[in-house]
Amino acid sequence: MLNPDELYIERAIELAKKGIGETFPNPNVGAVIVSEGKVVGEGYHRRQGEPHAEVEAINDAGKKARGGTIYLNLEPCCHHGTTPPCTDQIIKAGLKRVVFSIYDPDSRVRGKGAQILRENGIEVKTGVKMREAFELNLPFIHRCEAGGVLIVLKVALTLDGRITLNKEDWFTSKESRKHVHYLRALSDAVAVGIGTVKADNPVLDRRFFGRELPSPIRVVFDSELGFSPDSSWFDDDERVMIYCTENAKKHSMNLLEKAGAEVIALPGNHGEIDLKRWVDDISGRGVSSVLVEGGARIATSFLKEGLVDRMVLFFAPRISGKKGLSLFQNDVEPDWIKRGGLKPSHVSLSGTDIMAVYDSSVVKGYFERLAED
């Protein structure tokens, strides 16, 4: 059974999720104000440039905020950006207690917000619902801690390690497919290989997320440019990025660019795109998080290069036998996961499936630092 602090932080996280897909480059934050055992104010950060969650909740509560407790999934900011410091607003409102989940990874805030509040006689409690708060803002945390692009690899598997059955067979549960759309909503871009595009023609949108959001940037690895310029992907105005090698035909590149794609040629290794160069390139184009959903070839390539920050595996209770394609190709090396520092982080049920999350040592380090008091 959850205690009151956990219940109200849970509500703050629920509110924070309403801003997913709208707040970039800011984090997703929700706030709940409680006075005399009753919720008197709520708010969340709706989009960049608009009031932070704390301010929305304080405005909602009005005079009832005085003497109360504010619950947040992230440490209040204490610096001037496009909006004033939230610590100033909390002090001015007369709140006597602040409870938050994790420290803000922004170097301008980390620990300083809590310190300012304590120096002004406000009780501060941290570490409530840390895991949930961390998961909600991992892309933001990565930007603050390391910069560059966060690479999340998602794979759906049968119990015997196959990633496909029949073409039309969705072998994972509805809950797992919905969670994938949640992962897409947290990501700037979704990446697949040309083999997946030709076999499945995936939509790669966020329609199961729960509310309408534009599609993420769609990224395709296509060494020789076999992508069709007549693809339905060009029927909307969403961004499409196609990566090929420098040996790809210029004529194909021109046709795809006329269709509306961004075509980027990179050096190749044995006819394959140099993924380390790709990471540098896409990061330089303003993309800070990518969900890789490609097939076996793409998945093993990223693991082989040690480029995966997080791996999310959905194990469905199915046995495929020899029907499906194995995730790992014949040249798999047993130290790939070890080399990337990927270790089990947490496991949970997803409908009838098991969702297993593996994090790199770098991502694990983020969690440990932001949970410290």
Q: Which residues contact 294 (CB under 8 A, 6 or more apart)?
A: 191, 192, 193, 195, 196, 221
Residue 330 corresponds to which tokens in the numbers above? Answer: 């014949």
How far from 365 is each of 49, 111, 186, 214, 311, CA to CA, in Å? 30, 17, 20, 32, 16
Distance CA 39, CA 223 (A): 56
Q: Which residues contact 68 (CB under 8 A, 6 or more apart)?
A: 33, 34, 35, 36, 40, 61, 95, 96, 97
Which helix (H) or strand (E) is 114 found in, with range?
Answer: helix 112-119
Report which of 62, 223, 248, 27 is spatially closest to residue 141, judged by C-alpha positions.
27
Handedness of CA 358, 360, 361, 363 (dihedral sign): negative
- Find the distance separating the first CA and the last CA of the chain, reported in whole Å: 25
Annotation says 246 is catalytic? no
Q: Which entry of 10, 42, 54, 56 is annotated as an active-site residue? A: 54
* Count of Cβ atoms closer than 10 Å to residue 31 Cβ: 32
DSSP state for residue 215 in the 8-state scheme: P
Catalytic residues: 54
